[in-house]
Chains A and B, each alone.
Chain A
Amino acid sequence: MEIGSVKYRIGKSYGFKALVTVFAFACVVPLLFILFFIVRQGITKINWHFLVNVPKPVGEPGGGIINALVGSIEIIFFSALIAIPIGIMAGIYLSENRRGRLAYWCRLCVDILQGVPSIVIGIVAYFWIVKPEFTIHIGFLRLHKSAGFSAISGSIALAIMMLPIVIRSTEETLKLLPSSLQEAAFALGVPYHRVIFKVIIPVGIGGILSGVMLSIARITGETAPLLFTAFGNPYLSYNIGKPMQSLPLLIFNYATSPYDDWKNLAWGASLILLMWVLLLNISTKLITRKWKVQL
């Protein structure tokens, strides 16, 4: 082969390396821009007053986002309460029964569910939980009532969004565990449920937990399903049967308002939300590293 042609090929290969490096770097840029922008806009708005007060009416300066913080935490707590046990159990089933008919359909449904737009889940939760009417009989009086907007309906909608992530991450984690581990337990005469709870889950806990954290990070910023369900609330509320504010709802409502005070509130809330999600992602990484069981 001629020297010239070899040199040309080496040059081409350097060119290609440079190209992929540039694109890899380009992927980092958007996140850095978003971080920079939000931090710059939000950091000046955040102070103690901001964290412990409810929003003020238009025209009054100050005000905070305590109602949205409390609401977000409460709605997500109940979503997790619903989705985690169901998700982990279903994930165990899928990893234990890899070829069954039910496993095939379940896996298919979970994959499709993961792709269902969040607004559709919101609509479904609205029609199933918020909208249905029931009748109260008081003597000869008949009152038609619907359940109405409530935090719990938002939790249910978000739980549906969490499920696929928890299920698939549990399944993928447990699939990687060697079957010899289960056999060791079975050979000691350990019954199936104890094999699951005392061996399989403890060994896979790092992966399962990271799935749970990622699913929480995923739903933290969900706005669409909450529009139909939790609805939002300008006051502080702890009642899961009543409408409740949450961070994404507050951002949506206040950022689109024409008032500067409210826009500032939305910037501050955006930064809080961003930090919350970043923190979840980072602690997920730490958990997987720390709780990784050496096989």
Chain B
Amino acid sequence: MESTIIKSRNFNASFGTNHVVKNVNIDIPRNKVIAVMGPSGCGKTTYLRCINRMHELIAGATCSGEMTINGENIYQMHPIFVRLKIGMVFQRPNPFPNLSIYDNVIAGYKLNGIKLPKAERDRVVESSLTRVALWNEVKDSLTKKGSFLSGGQQQRLCIARAVAMEPEVLLFDEPTSALDPISTSTVEELFHELKTNYTLIIVTHNMQQAARVSDKTAFFYLGELVEYDETKIMFTNPKDSRTQNYITGRFS
């Protein structure tokens, strides 16, 4: 029996009058990779941004329903604590251009004003960069700016930045859609490593990617959660005809 870390019940999200996430019920198990797929505009990214309360930063955005982490209601916690527990990686790599690679990794501490002793900082930087398989590539250029790296390296730097905060859950919003195939496969390999320590929720509209990296897959269509099951079952024997149509490419 697997333990659930994130649970949502009757969860809705809208932008003004535009209802984009409709009545979603989902249980996300600990230390697994969950892929969220669906056609563009189906509400998958919005749902993801509701999990760490980034959705509410957009003017006019509202949401309702229950969303919990370890049984605690996310919407009754302070958003800052939520975001410390739930890290996020974005579609486009966005390292802080004014910070060095080193400072980018510990940006979560630095920007929050958390003082770490030098030895501890070095340890966090090295272990985070090692975990995203970037340490060997950048260990000699830690003082260079983050934007000096290639796109794929920048994205791994962003993952390291999220990992450095020791969150419980990592959210990925189409993390490889701005990357070339080689960088994409490096990042995908990372997902397998990372799930030993974290729960990963990955939004993607690349079905092959969902099939390759995830343990469970959720399919969103027009704001509804159509189907949510083991990835193997989803791709071989989906119960819903809309899932069937989507994975066979009848609509996208």
Contacts and interface: CB of A to CB of B under 8 A. Distances in A.
B54 A183 contact: yes
A240 to B, nearest CB: 36
B111 A294 contact: no
Given A186-B57, A294-B145, A202 B98 contact: yes
A59 interface: no
Contact of A180 (B87, B90, B161): B90
Contacts, number: 76
Interface residues of B, number: 31
A29 interface: no
B80 A191 contact: yes
Interface string B48-80: 000010100101000000000000000000011
B58 to A, nearest CB: 10
A137 interface: no
A293 interface: yes
A145 interface: no
Main secondary structure of the interface of A (DSSP, over half): helix
A52 to B, nearest CB: 42
B57 A199 contact: no
Contacts of A194: 111-113
A199 B57 CA distance: 17
B52 A185 contact: no
Contacts of A86: none
Interface in A260-295: 293-295
A198 B110 CA distance: 9
Interface residues of A, number: 22
A199 B111 contact: yes
A187 B88 contact: yes
B23 interface: no
Given A186-B83, A187-B88, A191-B80, A181 B110 contact: no
A188 B107 contact: yes
Contacts of B112: 188-191, 194
B81 interface: yes
B111 A195 contact: yes
Nearest to B113: A194
B29 interface: no
Nearest to B161: A188
A150 B57 CA distance: 47
A19 interface: no
A203 B96 contact: yes
Contacts of B147: 294-295
Contacts of B97: 181, 203, 293-295
Interface string A164-185: 0000000000000010110111
Nearest to A188: B108
A188 B165 contact: yes
Contacts of B82: 189
Contacts of A199: 96, 98, 111
B158 interface: yes
Contacts of A101: none
Contacts of B110: 198
A191 B79 CA distance: 9
A142 interface: no
Contacts of A184: 90, 94-96, 158, 161
A62 to B, nearest CB: 51
B202 interface: no
A7 interface: no
A194 B147 CA distance: 21
A197 to B, nearest CB: 9
B98 A189 contact: no
A187 B111 contact: no
A99 interface: yes
A203 B81 contact: no
Nearest to B83: A189
B98 A203 contact: yes
Given A198-B110, A293-B98, A295-B147, A189 B90 contact: no
B94 A180 contact: yes
Contacts of A99: 59
A59 B145 CA distance: 63
Nearest to A98: B59
Contact of A187 (B52, B92, B95): B52
Interface of B: 52, 54, 57, 59, 79-84, 87-88, 90, 92, 94-98, 107-108, 110-113, 145, 147, 158, 161-162, 165
13 contacts: A180-B90, A180-B92, A181-B94, A181-B96, A184-B95, A186-B83, A187-B83, A187-B87, A188-B165, A189-B112, A190-B80, A190-B108, A199-B96
